[in-house]
Amino acid sequence: MSRRINLADLKGRNSEITFSGISDKPTIKTVSKDGKPIRTLRVLKFPANKGFEGLMKRFGDAEKIAAAVLKEDPEIDLYLSGKFIESSSKLYLDKNLKPVYKIRKIERVYKPDRTLVEERAVKETISNVLLEAPIRMSGKLFPKKELLHKFVLGKKYQLSHNNGLTFDFLFQIAKELEDSQSLMLIGGGNKGMEPLVFQDGGKAYRAFLEGRTKGDKYLLIIHLSNMELKGVL
């Protein structure tokens, strides 16, 4: 499914263009003995009171749970375990395994050596990729090898043109990036340095734009990262 982003180049020209996720299609297909395709199904392992936390509340400690598992099957619900799940929703439980209706999310910030620095309320994020003020190219280039040693790249999106004008717009950007053999930091704000948020309530990402061309074809990919690699002193 394609979505839209308002992107500006280094000359300040901007356009609303589409972007979509990139996923590799599997080259190997799994089939049954009779040649029918195999599909993935979600199966319920156990209800909450049969999980480890629930068994701890019932037996008191892990050794008693182990002894009970050897004698019987307290972790199995004969009615629910193994049922196929058509759809599901996230539900938060308290320490008594009861549904929680009001929650307060906490974000923990750690040093590279896993020392806790700060606990804070999770900030509400608002999408900024299709605002009136466009996403900008910062002009800050990262050689490919340097980028891979500094950031963990997770998601990626491919940019696509809508018409002949946006084709020329994106082709030129791809060509300039290819010639530089680098990726460029893009983002919100006047200088293109602010993280990108692709949906309300979503994560904020540093975004790096990569460009390639082949004849009259181009490829523009936004690489996203929310984790920076740092050494532990």
The number of folded domains in the chain is 2
Pairing verdict, β 217-225 and 156-160: antiparallel
Indicate if 61 and 172 belong to the same structural domain.
no
Domain's final residue, options 92, 121, 150? 121
Q: What pTM, to 2 d.p., does this model score?
A: 0.69
65 and 134 share one domain: no
Domain-located, residue 99: yes
Neighbours of 168 (CB within 10 A): 12
Task: Answer whether residue 19 is part of any domain.
Answer: yes
- Shared domain for 138 and 222, answered yes or no, is yes
Are 101 and 167 contained in the same domain? no
Question: Is 32 within the bounds of a domain?
Answer: no
User: Is residue 35 in a domain?
Assistant: no
CB of 7 within 8 A of CB of 23? Answer: no
Q: Please report whether residue 29 resides in a domain.
A: no
Do the Cβ atoms of 172 and 166 come closer than 8 Å? no
Residues 201, 144 share a domain: yes
Which residue range(s) make up the domain with 88? 42-121
DSSP run (H or E) holding 144: helix 144-150
- Regarding whether 190 and 136 lie in a shared domain, the answer is yes
Contact 9, 45 (CB under 8 A): no
pLDDT value, residue 230: 67
Question: For position 233, what pLDDT does the model report?
Answer: 43
Q: The domain that contains 219 carries what CATH number?
A: 2.40.290.10
In a shared domain, residues 71 and 83? yes
Q: What is the pLDDT of residue 231?
A: 57
Give the domain-ending residue among 121, 152, 178.
Answer: 121
Q: Are residues 131 and 84 in the same domain?
A: no
Ramachandran bin of 118, using left for φ above 0, alpha for ψ from -120 to 50, beta for the remaining angles: beta
Residues 109 and 129 in one domain: no
Domain C-terminal end among 103, 121, 139? 121
Residues 144 and 187 in one domain: yes
CA distances from 215 to 166, 173, 174, 176, 218 (A): 17, 15, 12, 14, 8
Grouped pLDDT means (10 residues each) for the chain, 233 residues? 87 92 77 87 90 91 92 90 88 87 85 87 86 93 90 91 93 96 93 91 92 95 86 49
According to the model, what pLDDT value does residue 1 have?
Answer: 60
3-state secondary structure of 176: helix
pLDDT at residue 106, as a whole number: 87
Q: Are residues 13 and 51 in the same domain?
A: no
Asked, for residue 75, whether it belongs to a domain, the answer is yes
* Cα distances (angstroms) measured from residue 201 to each of 4, 72, 127, 196, 208: 18, 45, 8, 12, 21
Q: Is the same domain home to 98 and 65? A: yes
Alpha-carbon distance of 75 to 121, in angstroms, equals 36
Determine, yes or no, domain membership for 33.
no
Residue 233 lies in a domain: no
